[in-house]
Amino acid sequence: MLNPLALVSEGADACADAHVADACVPDAHVADTCVPAAHVPGTAAPLLELREYSLRLRRDGTGLLDKVSFRLGTGEIVGLIGESGCGKTLLALSLIRLLEPNLFTVAGQVFWRGEDILAWPEKRLISWRGKELAMIFQEPMTSLNPVWRVGAQVAEAIRLHQPVGVKEAASLACQALRQAAVAAPERLMRQYPHELSGGLRQRVMLAIAMANRPRLILADEPTTALDVSIQAQILELMLRLREETGASFLLITHDLAVVAEVCDRALVMYAGRVVEAAATRDLLDTPRHWYTRGLLASLPGLDGEGRLPVIPGAVPAPAQYNWRGCGFAGRCRRALPRCGREPPPWSDVGAGHWVRCHAPA
């Protein structure tokens, strides 16, 4: 289920493919704001759409996210790739609006089924969070409250959004756990988190997230802390849940192989910006951004031997993000003089494959 990508610029809602390039070219400033987004066939509005979403620290104005734009359709699994410190987790926490509002300033728009959630009052957010949009976290060991039984923690999520009694909530919780492929949900309901393995805890987290049949689940490195065999089970479970409930996933990971296994499309983030967007196969077979290439090369496959090619250096701290040019220029082997000075524009390199690079591969 590959989705063709289309360009959407400010004010141009239905941007037909032929006119896209024209709409963007006129001046450099507009080119910078032109963004790739998924055109989801058959749906009037995408489930989630970000338009030039930016995030800064209120205290000193440090930029954290720079004009992030993408669309996510119903039933899609989209991967968000990048190293730690690129802003992936921040983006997710910011989408579910769990960041302390007085520490950050936001700009741009975030549309949820056509409505701008940045304008929503807290009351609306509370009835939306956990019901329509849920999140699971990287640390299954610490994400569950150690003093409540598992059953209570799942049932709590249900009672927050559904008008059911204690008994009914418990039976719904049991169902949710069964759906998350827990072998003996009745027994698990009475257990405490510390009695469970990491994989089982992540299943419980998935059950909590799925309990109210949300439309979208933000999964922040859900398998990074788990063993490979458990990771494979959790990924398969995500695919199955998508089939059964039609839910979409935004899967945050630094492991491209995980993306390859489950995602329809992927976005690559670097230093607070999305730098490449494409259908998964396209991205992995013909990566066009040098950062994506570096990430792919540094992945130890099962058939290689000896040293790995690496990306030199590390992601800078947000205060050192270079947004006047290409954020990756400092680590890029192919960097041109202008890479450090001019922000690269978005370019469509074919078949809905978008890249933000002055000299794409």
* Beta bridge partners of residue 79, listed in sequence order: 251, 266
Helix or strand (DSSP H, E) at 267: strand 265-270
Asked if 212 and 134 touch (Cβ cutoff 8 Å), the reply is yes
Q: Which is nearer to another protein, 33 or 191 (CB)?
A: 191
Q: Which two tokens stand for residue 66?
A: 């720079």
Residue 310, exposed/middle/buried by CB under 10 A (0-12, 13-18, 19+)? exposed
What DSSP character marks residue 39? -
CB neighbour list of residue 13: distance below 8 Å, 6 or more residues apart: none
Task: Quote the CA–CA distance of 119 and 106 in Å, as a whole number.
Answer: 11
Task: Quote the CA–CA distance of 89 and 83 in Å, as a whole number.
Answer: 11
Q: How far is the CB of 247 from another protein (least distance, A)?
A: 15
Q: How far is the CB of 240 from another protein (least distance, A)?
A: 11
Q: Which is nearer to another protein, 15 or 283 (CB)?
A: 283
Q: How far is the CB of 310 from another protein (least distance, A)?
A: 5
Q: How far is the CB of 10 from another protein (least distance, A)?
A: 31
Q: How far is the CB of 30 from another protein (least distance, A)?
A: 33
Of 274, 199, 267, 266, give the one whose Cα is nearest residue 237. 199
Q: How far is the CB of 297 from another protein (least distance, A)?
A: 8
Q: Which is nearer to another protein, 12 or 284 (CB)?
A: 284
CB neighbour list of residue 313: distance below 8 Å, 6 or more residues apart: 330, 331
Q: Which is nearer to another protein, 40 or 134 (CB)?
A: 134
Q: Which is nearer to another protein, 18 or 147 (CB)?
A: 147
Q: How far is the CB of 273 from another protein (least distance, A)?
A: 17
Q: How far is the CB of 227 from another protein (least distance, A)?
A: 4
SS3 257: helix
Task: Quote the CA–CA distance of 297 and 309 in Å, as a whole number.
Answer: 6
Asked if 291 and 311 touch (Cβ cutoff 8 Å), the reply is yes
Q: At 65, give phi and psi (nearest 5°).
A: -130, 135
Q: How far is the CB of 62 from another protein (least distance, A)?
A: 17
Angle at 28 between CA 27 and CA 32, to 5 degrees: 125
Q: Which is nearer to another protein, 71 or 293 (CB)?
A: 293
* Residue 180 CB neighbours (<10 A): 25
Q: Which is nearer to another protein, 254 or 342 (CB)?
A: 254
Residue environment code for 226-248, b if the CB has 16+ CB neighbours within 10 A, otherwise e: beeebbebbbebbeebbeeeebb
Q: Which is nearer to another protein, 33 or 245 (CB)?
A: 245
Q: Which is nearer to another protein, 16 or 308 (CB)?
A: 308
Task: Quote the CA–CA distance of 263 and 253 in Å, as a whole number.
Answer: 11
